[in-house]
Structure 1
Amino acid sequence: MKKDIYAFVAQCDNCQRNKTETVASPGLLQPLPIPEGIWSDISMDFVEGLPNSHGKTVILVVVDRLSKYTHFIALYHPYTAVEVAQAFLDTIYKLHGMPKSIVSDRDPIFFWQELFRLQVDQWGRDREATLKILKEHLVQAQNRMKQQADQHRIESQFAVGDWVLKKVGQVAYQLDLPPHSKLHLVFHVSMLKKKLGAHTTPQATFPPIGTDGVLEPEPIAALDRRLIKYKGRPATQLLVQWSNSYPEDATWELYQDLQAKFPTFQPWRQGSFQGDGNDRPVTRSDAAAMGQDKGLNLGAECAVVWIVGWTG
């Protein structure tokens, strides 16, 4: 019977609703994890009912859970979520940034929604203002650079049909090149020249191009020669015609440089220079005499040079 009475009383609905249990507090303590850095995890609470000080009777206490450094923020009563969020931004966020977690006994909706909204609004205003200033400075810098660069440039345009296929952008044109060409079809206007006259001399092949896309012409003939003073010594220069080019485009080159870069080029065996060719080494006396004819003070230390196709 004792057991039955005990079970009946224990199961009484009114007793269970109105009487407390005389047992130890249920649930084991769950410590918060140790923060990894200062002001990454904070706790906050309100101290209310304080004496009036300049109209403020509430203190918001914000504590760094690692260093235990504390901020005390005075508030008016009653306070709203917007006011608390603004005070948090002006004091905590300004100095320490946004924490990873906030421990508080208040409803999280009460504080976090307003804090997030204010943070986004402030970030958006700051971002828009920063981008506006950045764009203004970029425009000014572009205008200055364009004005300085255009002082040494001219505007050049080609109409479609003037040896160009179509215009690409503002300063580029596409040419109609053969399919086997290794050149890119689009060229900057600085790489093009306007064709004058109706006469054209077609070229069957393209000039050789290296792996870096740069033309690699080769010497094909020596059209003329001259003796110059180079670094205090007599040196021979050749007027070289290059492959896939016209004689009018020939350039003066040092013979020693041609030998180093094009060892197979032998202008002496061509019978050029408007005669049958007479290739022979020149003695010091011959070189000195030629130097005097050309107004060069070669002196007795001049080196032996080659007179190329000498016909004089």
Structure 2
Amino acid sequence: RYSIHPGADKMYYDLRDLYLWRGMKRDIAEYVSRCLTYSKIKAEHQKPSGLLQQPEIPEWKWEKITIDLVTKLPRSSGGYDAIWVIVDRLTKSAHFLPIREDYKTKKLARIYINEIVARHGVLVSIISDRDGRFASHLWQALQEVLGTKLHMSTSYHPETDGQSERTIQTLEDMLRACVMGFGGSWDTRLPLVEFSYNNTYHTSINQVPLDEIKIDENLHFVEEPIEIVERDVKKLKRRRISLVKVRWNSQQGAEYTWELEDQFRKKYPHLFTEPVPSSSVAT
């Protein structure tokens, strides 16, 4: 309840580092399916359309972000009626900032400096929605001084790169669940929702956003194996060679390779904790 679970798969990945039992994934799926709060707030989410132009994958956390606004919310006890959603495109971690729809560009710029630049430093680029304040001369002048490149979502897709759309849907689901479970004004629950979101497993990066991104000494992204998806056995005349098909966290998206099982097991034993489907024996 206190983690504001966002679904069976994410709840499973959040819990598996702490608990493990036979049939765990099935039990969690059954528990979530019977959750009254979950059934009330969870909407059917369609897969977002592909991009007209694919943005480059960032090489460092909090250097390239997307920003969007959730508007038309009921006015909170603090006088807010909107949320500024700011998402790091690499780690998928996010900040949910309560604002008012009538805030001018100058006010948003001050919040941006205090909440984002002060925490994460000057950014490389921003993909924003088509709100007029993000196209204003003041906003563009600020980013030009900071050396941050601006891209409007119309250059890619009406919902930026799809990341903001998915994050906003998750935010709305979690916020509804939190208010239903604890009551009170939504803005008082927003910090709890942000904390929960940033500690939730994300399938697109196969980890929680607050987990450290693996880099080498030159600050370059390090590819690592994520999971074993299949096993096979190569049958020769006098021996059998066990192979595993591995999915990697490549910058270009999901990549798969076949590896020798005995060598791979020694290097990455943590990937051999769950049963993996086997293909037919090769000859």
Computing the radius of gyration from Cα coordinates, the structure with the larger value is: 1
* TM-score (ref. length: structure 1): 0.28
Between the two structures, name the one with larger relative contact order (CA 8 Å, sep ≥ 6): 2
Q: TM-score if structure 2 supplies the norm length?
A: 0.30
